[in-house]
Amino acid sequence: MRNFLYLLVLGGCFAFCPTQSKAQQSGLKKKAEIPYLKGESKRIFPANPDNPGPQKGGEKSWFTNDHCFVEDTDGTLHWFGINNPYPPKGKGLYRYHPYLGHLTTKNPEGEWKRLPHAIDESKGTEYIGAPYVVKHEESGRWAMVAETWRDKRRLEVYWSDDLHNWESDGKAILPDKLWISSRDPHIMKGSDGKYWIHIVSTGNKGVKQSQVLRIKTKDFVNFEDPETILGINDNNWATLMESPFLVERNGLWYLFFTYAHRRYAETIVVVSDDPDHFDYEKNTLTTLFGHAAEIFTYKGVQYITSCGPEDKHYLNHQSVSMSPLGWAKQR
């Protein structure tokens, strides 16, 4: 209870208050720092590319969802993400998904410049989703992993030399080993020198549960078999989690993921001292406000974002919001 009151005073997050006694609590949780949103999570740009404003009724005609941030060699920050109009009559919300938006800035709390869509499938498959972009150090090119919908929903790789022009290799990532709901990649360079792709899925190794999987690659052409790093026994047909993101801090690992099918804007944080294994039952650390949260550091400040929602409630802004991310040391 003391930790709960401490977090409540800090503000900016909803604390997860375990029912265990202190003697039973995980030693990891006692050592861990608690992430929290420092102040208000503010909108950083309008979802609608034309930005007609609420007076003209067009502000809520577009929405955002999963997204990512990457800094280029000139120090410019790029945003890539799902950015679509609500579907026209006869099209489905989760099937008509034609655009990946692209914006840039050198001040994430200031003005963002909107660029042409990074990928436009409006005259093609009408579906592109959940991108993540990293610099492939070995080739000097940029790699994007995104969800596509060709013969079925799948993950594939796009390449770019300049972060503006993208081409897909047209090949699905591990098509015979990933469940159809596998999506929402997060990518980082691992301690083994390989690129770790984290996705949500189910059915890995025959287990029907909500899972976060890791797929390793060196070249984004050849991929190792997926390994489950977190599983929740909450279902037997599809993953109920979304948007994993892994952070290493002071020798501990923090796995953020959205529990969107329980609450749309609920981001859970699970702590571990082993990046290959996270225990949801024992080591859930806190709950944050946010959907499809991304974490990035730019000019020495660490930020956390949220996006969406894909509905039209009165005060919702349908776009991307951002707040500095704090880390509270426990007493």
Average pLDDT value for residue range 318-326: 96
Contact (Cβ atoms closer than 8 angstroms) between residue 128 and residue 145: no
Contact (Cβ atoms closer than 8 angstroms) between residue 27 and residue 145: no
322 residue type, one letter: M
Check pLDDT > 70 for residue 53. no
Reference 165, options 144, 188, 137; nearest CA is 144
Confidence (pLDDT) at 331: 84
Confidence (pLDDT) at 181: 87
Confidence (pLDDT) at 17: 39
Residue 182 CA to residue 222 CA, distance in Å, equals 18
CA distance from start to end of the chain? 12
Domain 2-328 in this protein, CATH class: mainly beta
- Confidence label for 314 from pLDDT (cuts 50, 70 and 90): low
Confidence (pLDDT) at 26: 65
Residue 80 CA to residue 66 CA, distance in Å, equals 9
Q: How far is CA 110 from the centre of its chain?
A: 22
- Confidence label for 54 from pLDDT (cuts 50, 70 and 90): low
- Confidence label for 57 from pLDDT (cuts 50, 70 and 90): low
Check pLDDT > 90 for residue 145. yes
> What are the boundaries of each domain within the chain?
2-328
Three-class secondary structure assignment of 73-120: CCCCEEEEEEEEECCCCCCCCCCCECEEEEEEECCCCCCCEEEEEEEE
Instruction: Please list, in sequence order, all residues whose beta carbon lies within 8 angstroms of the beta carbon of residue 56, skipping any fewer than 6 positions away.
Output: none
Q: What is the pLDDT of residues 89-121, one digit of tens each?
A: 999 988 999 999 999 999 999 999 999 999 999
Mean of the per-residue pLDDT values of the chain:
90
Lowest mean pLDDT of 11-15, 240-244, 304-308, name the range: 11-15
Bin 94: left if φ > 0, else alpha if -120 < ψ < 50, else beta. Answer: alpha
Check pLDDT > 70 for residue 258. yes
Instruction: Please list, in sequence order, all residues whose beta carbon lies within 8 angstroms of the beta carbon of residue 133, skipping any fewer than 6 positions away.
Output: 68, 70, 78, 80, 142, 143, 144, 163
68 residue type, one letter: C
Task: Quote helix, strand, coil % in the chain, to nearest 5.
Answer: 10, 45, 45
> Tokens at residue 152, please?
């079925």
Residue 159 CA to residue 136 CA, distance in Å, equals 10
Contact (Cβ atoms closer than 8 angstroms) between residue 136 and residue 145: no
> Tokens at residue 231, please?
């599983």
Buried (b) or exposed (e) across 186-204, using 16+ Cβ within 10 A?
bbbeeeeeebbbbbbbbbb
Residue 198 CA to residue 214 CA, distance in Å, equals 5
Check pLDDT > 60 for residue 38. yes
More confident residue, 155 or 21: 155
